[in-house]
Structure 1
């Protein structure tokens, strides 16, 4: 069954607000280093601003958007990232999709901000791609689609014509080992691999800057080969 839902981050918006407050963003391995002050901004921006903006756009287009974050109904339970160097960046400990299933069954579209809490209620910044993959797997989704602001996975980042249009799990692991996949693309391919291992049938990384890229990916045979790197 096709399960519709949106999991989102908001890196540029977070950076903008951190800049206003004189806080310098820091990243390790494509993930944001999150101290207490940064966590407050992350939660404020993702849950209070980006989430509600997306819900409004869905409603304006005629859909029914329902804004949530990982804290709601204990949807995502977090734990600290192993090693601890990222501060309040969390990993997904468990997923409870009960509230999502009810929302989807009603015909609405859940819009989920990537903020979660541990068993003690402490807030954590969860990578949105990671959260999306875990939720997709828990829902038994047919397809996971990650929208980004680059063409996709490329053999050569300086050459758009080197786009990888289809690749196996073994193939993408080789690209990571060779350093051809790096930075923020690493969490994306890792979450694709995890979701596929847990039963999601296909995972695609597509260029969200292109007009109608999502529709082309879902509704046409050509969309995947043109815009995505499908891990199968």
Structure 2
């Protein structure tokens, strides 16, 4: 390695120090999904990033999705995926598969990967310890479209997560909850991450996506937005499609007291560390 390459590495470490100091002892919530979950190299990079965050004194809480894995399993058992207004229609048979894949297969894969890098991860669903109380929801402007066993978060009891964080564990949460009738409900992972971030009074919420972040009218990355500017971009249709619900979740989080929400590109290796510990960052930061 040349002296200039060594100097470059030292500069990166020095740049990270004030950010490590700022985040030390803070809780961050990370929504992990998209291509980052199905690419082996990205999976390993994510696990390494989360482990490093814990080792430098930050308390990460991971909430994960698993849409591609659910689709593959449904196909394998002969069930067709059906979507209504962008949400998976979830009948009882589909819910069994969702719970098996998210709460079992995917959750334990993430836990194993993080543990293999030297951290102590614990897998759970929103049903464990009464973490998430949910209620069944419907789609459509007037809530008239039945989408089956799909839920929205009614409340979060974060006591278990606080205990795990204090004992040096990393919670890894599948977005499944139960209603007051004991029915298991499938919940959007972004919504779960946002509500958990608020319940924990987290410093930051990170939403990993398959894009660079929020783009302006000229398709250029917007690195920082306050809530008012983000709402205007939503009204003007600049923020649309799959980015709209993510920005909605970000706005709910910062409204609820989360210091910032970062929408970052999960398809770039170590984007989580770049956003946390460098001046350049790796996506869009949304502030109150």
Same fold (TM over 0.5): yes
- Aligned partner of 1:231 in structure 2 is 286
- Aligned partner of 1:171 in structure 2 is 229
SS of 2:202 mapped into structure 1:
coil
Aligned equivalents of 2:244, 2:79: Cα separation in 1: 25
- Aligned partner of 1:188 in structure 2 is 246
- Aligned partner of 1:142 in structure 2 is 203
- Aligned partner of 2:155 in structure 1 is 94
SS of 2:247 mapped into structure 1:
helix
Summarize the Cα distance change of 1:187–1:29 in structure 2 as closer, same or farther, 3 Å threshold: farther
Whose Rg is larger? 2
SS of 2:195 mapped into structure 1:
helix
In structure 1, which of residues 29, 38, 50 is the aligned counterpart of residue 94 of structure 2? 38
Aligned equivalents of 2:225, 2:89: Cα separation in 1: 30
Which stretch shows the higher mean deviation, 52-61 or 167-176? 167-176
- 1:132 deviation in Å? 0.4
Written as runs of structure 1 = structure 2, the 5 A alignment for 1:4-43 is 4-43=60-99
- 1:22 deviation in Å? 3.0
TM-score, normalised via structure 2 length? 0.74
Which stretch shows the higher mean deviation, 36-45 or 17-26? 17-26
CA RMSD of aligned residues (A): 1.6
Which stretch shows the higher mean deviation, 209-218 or 28-37? 28-37
- 1:45 deviation in Å? 0.5
Aligned equivalents of 2:234, 2:149: Cα separation in 1: 25
- 1:150 deviation in Å? 1.8
- Aligned partner of 2:182 in structure 1 is 121
**1:60 maps to 2:116:** yes
Unaligned runs of 5+ in 1: none
- Aligned partner of 1:79 in structure 2 is 135
SS of 1:231 mapped into structure 2:
strand
CA contact (8 A) 1:30 1:186 kept: no
- Aligned partner of 1:106 in structure 2 is 167
TM-score, normalised via structure 1 length? 0.91
- 1:167 deviation in Å? 1.5
Deviations 1:152-211 (A, max 9, x none): 22236xx7x522221122222233333333333232111111110110000011011101
- 1:29 deviation in Å? 4.1
CA contact (8 A) 1:29 1:184 kept: no
Moved over 6 A (4+): none
